[in-house]
Structure 1
């Protein structure tokens, strides 16, 4: 499940390290191609809102294979796109159908014992984040050797292999609800209204993941630009430094099982904010940039696992819908970050991107402090 989550979520991120190459190939501006990345994340948010709730309504193995078939077709469309507009449309549809990981995570939480749920979620989420990070390595290397279109042909082939793997390995899990589809979607909004813990966790998740979109949308422009002049392969390999943060954050799940999810949230959100100080220095110093990336991914992934370990406990019969509410906000924030980043980089350069990225988790840290003080107040 961790492997499948990583391979599928990678589809929304293959374009990030090769935006410069795609822009040159399609005779488009870097800002236009940057919006292709945004389109993929917007599509992902749409898929989260409309498709992930089906995990409570339908048999999940069949649902997953259907989604992967659609993803394969859309990736082929990206590989064949003649201009950036068509590439953007195909990327949007890839994002919509690439929500397999968000069906698998609540399924993993359902199959796990209560005393190991945090670790299981951490394992699957680590696979998902590694897929995001390694997608950039694969994209950079493949684009260097065979061109950017080969990246999406390869991705389509991986989706076929993933569909076969899940069809063979996953158990059949009966649906947990018989609600009609429209009532199912309305129940997501009801969960948000009824569960304050879910609302708080949605806020912390959004305020960290928006910074993820801010950083990763523009770092390719920085590394390909006059300050570094790196190749596609070098840019892709650079993203490996984020793996350290992803692996370190895996232990957030184990700590959450021991009851530390709420207190460690503040530390992870603060780490996300502080990482942008190093990332700003990284405009001219690659070591600072690398350490900043590791801390950024540690903070975001640690916050995310802490959030999920708390809100999955709320309604065991509605875990897909809880995940829908949380992840729709999460990836909508990432889309916002990507869009703001592309515009900010054009107008204010790398320094503007780093200031923008730091603002959101700083607000999140202040909210956590306020929440903690209120809970400790007598009466």
Structure 2
């Protein structure tokens, strides 16, 4: 950390950064509730439109792997607004699309450059006092998670009121405004002297040297995979009997997850005080309990809503603890560390979505719930290995 920089008391800047995280992360989820409207607009097969969701996920993953590590070797205060400008360009292309191909191009550009949020988070760890790291990262994560939860609801609402492309117009304008504001206020921090080609060799070295990074990445990947089962099954469950909810109400129901997302600052504060281990196990326990509630939610909408809120709390707890651990491993490689962690995190998410669809088609909702619980057990196993690894003598790098 630059000893002359501490932004933990600059509430205006922290709010701007949290909003930017939410806007960047949410930009990849707009298309999910709009598939039917886009299909009607372009008169193409719904399966083709559904590929838009895949393009958003894949391009974001590529951005995590190939763009986020650059945050360690370039001036972050200029790099972040530049990425946000690129995301705004992608969103503008989506807004102006007159064909599905054009929408795909805009989606891919948006996905690649919306990883600005994952450069902002390592930046803030370098610009606050070490004892404030978890609390400050938690505040930014609240913005990011709330942005994801609100994105689908707002996209569906604006589509119902006007047109499916309105959310892209609004988002592009907000992205540009935030980029300008952040460019003026983001602090300067030290960067590495590595070259781009050397980044990936150093990332491989980090994986070999930092066992906690591997374990914590796998904990996060399994936990997010468990949550992602809901992403691929929620519409299939809630739009069919006995619920038969319209799409707009499915989107509104997901807002109960906001309470879990808002807890990340509190979780980060307790993690800063040395309670990471307890909070990690609490998070895994909450995830396990959530699947019991969600199983009952197959017949009870109240139980499903409660389970959805609880699983968001559990995931936020595990994710916040993971970040509190990994950002303390190597202060000079935080963007690379975050790239590794988030890449494995989203690989887990993609795998969880696929497993959810497979389980649904082969055993219905009970099979999907059992799969989700199994993934929580996987996260718990990795947490146990991480805990046991801490009891062994540390190796010298």
TM-score by shorter chain over 0.5: yes
Taking a change above 3 Å as real, the CA distance of residues 257 and 364 of structure 1, as seen in their structure-2 partners, is same
Aligned to 2:353: 338
Match of 2:72 in 1: 56
Rounded Cα–Cα distance in structure 2 between residues aligned with 1:87 and 1:223:
28
Match 2:255 to one of 240, 251, 266: 240
Which residue of 1 is the match for residue 290 of structure 2?
275
Specify whether residues 143 and 341 from structure 1 end up closer, same or farther in structure 2 by C-alpha distance, changes over 3 A only.
farther
Distance 1:372 1:184, change over 3 A: closer
Tell me, yes or no, if structure 1 residue 139 matches structure 2 residue 155: yes
Is the Cα–Cα contact under 8 Å of residues 345 and 353 in structure 1 kept in the other structure? yes
**Residues 1:325 and 2:340 aligned together:** yes
CA deviation after TM superposition for structure 1 residue 376, in Å: 6.5
Looking at structure 2, the residues matched to 358 and 83 of structure 1 have their Cα atoms a distance apart, in angstroms, of 41
Q: TM-score, normalised by structure 2?
A: 0.86
Higher relative contact order (CA 8 A, sep 6+): 1
User: How many residues matched?
Assistant: 377
- 1:70 Cα shift? 1.5
Which 5+ residue runs of structure 2 have no aligned equivalent?
1-16
Q: State the partner residue of 1:118.
A: 134
- Paired with 1:87 and 1:343, the residues of 2 have a C-alpha distance of 28
Alignment partner, residue 17 of structure 1: 33
Return closer, same or farther for 1:102/1:377 CA change in 2, 3 Å cut-off: closer
Q: Secondary structure at the match of 2:68?
A: coil
CA offsets, 1:342-373, max 9 Å, x none?
Answer: 45545554444333332211221233345546
Q: 2-side partners of 1:112 and 1:134: how far apart?
A: 28
Cα shift at 1:321? 1.0
For the aligned residues, what is the CA RMSD?
2.5
Match of residue 316 from structure 1 = 331
Q: Give SS of 1:156's match.
A: helix
Residue in 2 aligned with 1:73? 89
CA distance in 1, matches of 2:43, 2:239: 17
Distance 1:273 1:79, change over 3 A: farther
Native 8 Å contact 2:93 2:105 kept in 1: no
Verify: 1:358 aligned to 2:373, yes or no: yes
List runs of 5+ in structure 1 lacking aligned partners: none
Deviation of 1:36 after TM superposition, in Å, equals: 2.7
Give the whole-Å Cα distance in 1 for the aligned partners of 2:371 and 2:45: 22
Which deviates further from its counterpart, 238-247 or 18-27?
18-27
* Map 1:168-183 → 2, pairs under 5 A: 168-174=184-190, 176-183=191-198
- 2:116 counterpart residue number: 100
